[in-house]
Structure 1
Amino acid sequence: MNNKLPTTPTTKVLIIRLSSFGDIVQNLEAAYQMKESFPGAEVQWLTKSNFAPIVEVCPAVDRVWRFDKSSGLLGYLKFLIQLRRQNFTHVYDAHSNPRSFLAKLFLAFSRIDHRPKLATRSKNRLKRFALFKLRWNFFPQPYYSAQSFVTPIQKWLKDGSVKTRSLSLPTSEKTPSSPYVLCAPSAAWKNKRWPLSHWKKLIQINPSIRFVMLGGPEDTFINELYSLAPERVFNLAGKLSWIESATLVQEASAVISNDTGILHVADLIGRPTLALIGPTAFGYPTRPSSKTLEVDLPCKPCSKDGRDPCTNKVYQKCLVDITPERVSKELNKILNS
């Protein structure tokens, strides 16, 4: 007689999100949710090699698969064969592009004896067309992207509400001494950037605050902010990795950011944050530690990611009208609380 209790199959989850920095950070909430809903589950992640470091500091992800797109289609298929051996019970395509679609299909139908549960995050192309071309908005307002990454797998989850999380971030010798306000004045597209003159005014009307500026090596305009007050403005643009930047976010007294990846790191880990939201539709922070600053205009939103031209008579009016005085007032509320 066999007295052994039947064993429950291990829950093995694959989340597919290949890029980009901000989207991956917001998508991390799905990994935490799967861990909470399936105690003991093994959560794995497929992403491009250059974005792997930010996933690797997420304690809810057990393994990160790094994909190098230079390997071509044959290399990708060989890569998928390795993934197939994992026998995933759940596969979540959070990207919905040709590569992620191929991975999902390959894992779903390449074996007769094993079929994982599937979920896909839709790009909502028809809704986007209606919004940006016809000005008909069928999206929830405001649109919380972190929640949108959880909704497709809601059927698998016990809760599904977005929470403040932690990242396993290392200490960095490049971290300035506290206190400081972390600023992200850049963005991938210029139309998402709060005007440089506003950043200058913000620094000038807050003479006792130390500002740390983040950006990429191409963001040479940040030198103008540094030159205003080099004794209390730190220009670290192009000098830090994503992980080092995230460590600075974690240590900051407050964060001021355009709609960019730094905003979503700050929102994820619950740092007091001011989000400067201009023309984009989908970059709103989700957690109560973040406050969105924006203006209501009939032409807003006009772009998915800021790449579309501004059509207002006043260029970037949606950001110009977020005044330095308004941002300063909200910032000092945070610092004095």
Structure 2
Amino acid sequence: MKAPTNILISRTDSLGDVVLTLPVAAVIKQHFPEMTVGFIGTAYTKAIIESCPYIDVFVDKEEFLNQPVTLAGEPPQCLLHILPRAEIAKRAKELQIPLRIGTTNRWFHWLTCNKLVKLSRNRSHLHEAQLNLKLLKPFGIDHDFSLPEIAELTDMSNLSVLPPQFATLLQADKFKIILHPKSRGSAREWDLNHYVSLIKLLDTEKFQIFISGTANEKAGLQPLLEAVGERVTDISGLMTLPEFIPFIAACDGLVACSTGPLHIAAALQKHALGIYQPMRPIHPGRWQPIGEHVKVFVLNKTCNDCRVDKTSCPCTQAIQPIEIKAYLDTLYDDIFVH
């Protein structure tokens, strides 16, 4: 198949999902260096998309659905549906984009796409990022990418400059760790009391601890902040995403459940410490962050006890603060002592 001169990658959901899609752009550029790569996203994820040097054009989802779109002055020639969305598939057909790639397990792709890839995410043992790359098969790219290979393909180096008011918060002689307790409801969260215990276990002469979260999560973080006092610096609700990304890059590590900032930290080659569940499909085999410095905390078991009742997740709460403290101490020694 003759390769098009441009392509639109479509992934319009959350931060972590978009981070795990960036390697698709990298592989396309490796194989077709002259191809213009566009990415359909949302205002929420724009900063992540624009941080990737392999993506030439950000296209807002609403603009794609309602306005003419060009890539380097040309109409789109290919649309790759990483995340199936019926309205985007319909619009791509209306625009008569010549090559429209989707999966066989979405009925609307049979009506709107002209190249289908057999791919079932729910039944797969592959990581989400590996599944994304499977959709490049129509271009003759049928390599089974390992997670270390994908880590090398993940690039978020086009960063905004960290504003001075945030840069001055950082202490160069300490291990700068961000704790991000909330997930906007996207993941099973570690109890705030565990974060309190972890903070009290960490030596503040060695660690500078930041608490991050969105403005909407700030109220929910108050019990934690009141319990730990001046041991932490509260940055929740203070930064936009284009500011938070370079702030993560300026720190040494981040602790969180399966949420966007954890994936961002891993992509920036920071120490990303993730708290996960031993349950498909939210287990780390499918959703762990990808990077050179990733550590996952998860029980060594298979569990489905809270599949229906998500309000309590004993496997998440069974991860003990002392485990994470011990790992952070090792990281501190590696960086500042050895």
TM bucket by the smaller chain? 0.7 to 0.9
| Contact 1:182-1:255 at 8 Å conserved across structures | yes
Q: 1-side partners of 2:158 and 2:209: how far apart?
A: 24
Residues 301, 144 of structure 1: alpha-carbon distance in 2 compared, 3 angstrom cutoff? farther
Aligned to 2:127: 144
Alignment partner of 1:333 out of 326, 330, 335: 330
Shift in Å, 1:289: 1.6
**Cα deviations by residue, 1:158-210 (Å, 9 ceiling, x for unpaired):** 86541332331122222421341011111122861111111011011113221
Residues 248, 122 of structure 1: alpha-carbon distance in 2 compared, 3 angstrom cutoff? farther
**Cα deviations by residue, 1:204-232 (Å, 9 ceiling, x for unpaired):** 11132211111112222323333344434
The letter for the 2-side match of 1:44 is G
Aligned to 2:196: 200
| Contact 1:182-1:248 at 8 Å conserved across structures | no
**Cα deviations by residue, 1:65-105 (Å, 9 ceiling, x for unpaired):** 11338xxxxx82x42x4359834343211110212222343
The letter for the 1-side match of 2:17 is D
Q: 1-side partners of 2:156 and 2:12: how far apart?
A: 22
The letter for the 1-side match of 2:224 is L
Q: How many residues align?
A: 300
Q: 1-side partners of 2:195 and 2:186: how far apart?
A: 14
Aligned to 1:316: 313
Aligned CA-pair RMSD: 3.0
Matches for 1:148-227 after TM superposition, within 5 Å:
148-156=131-139, 157=141, 160=145, 161-164=149-152, 165-172=155-162, 173=164, 174-175=166-167, 176-178=169-171, 179=174, 180-189=176-185, 192-208=188-204, 209-219=207-217, 220-227=219-226
Moved more, 171-180 or 82-91: 82-91
How does the TM-score come out when normalised to structure 1? 0.78
Is the counterpart of residue 283 in structure 1 residue 287 in structure 2? Answer: yes
Is the counterpart of residue 55 in structure 1 residue 49 in structure 2? Answer: yes
5+ residue gaps in structure 2?
A: 107-117
The letter for the 2-side match of 1:17 is R
Q: 1-side partners of 2:103 and 2:187: how far apart?
A: 30
Aligned to 2:270: 271
Q: 2-side partners of 1:301 and 1:240: how far apart?
A: 37
5+ residue gaps in structure 1?
A: 1-7, 70-74, 129-137
Aligned to 2:110: none
Identity %: 17
Q: 2-side partners of 1:16 and 1:210: how far apart?
A: 38
Residues 65, 166 of structure 1: alpha-carbon distance in 2 compared, 3 angstrom cutoff? closer
**Cα deviations by residue, 1:103-129 (Å, 9 ceiling, x for unpaired):** 34335xx27xxx23634496899774x
Residues 103, 301 of structure 1: alpha-carbon distance in 2 compared, 3 angstrom cutoff? farther
Is the counterpart of residue 22 in structure 1 residue 41 in structure 2? Answer: no
The letter for the 1-side match of 2:161 is T
How does the TM-score come out when normalised to structure 2? 0.78
Q: 2-side partners of 1:301 and 1:36: how far apart?
A: 44
Alignment partner of 1:91 out of 75, 79, 82: 79
Q: 2-side partners of 1:119 and 1:126: how far apart?
A: 12
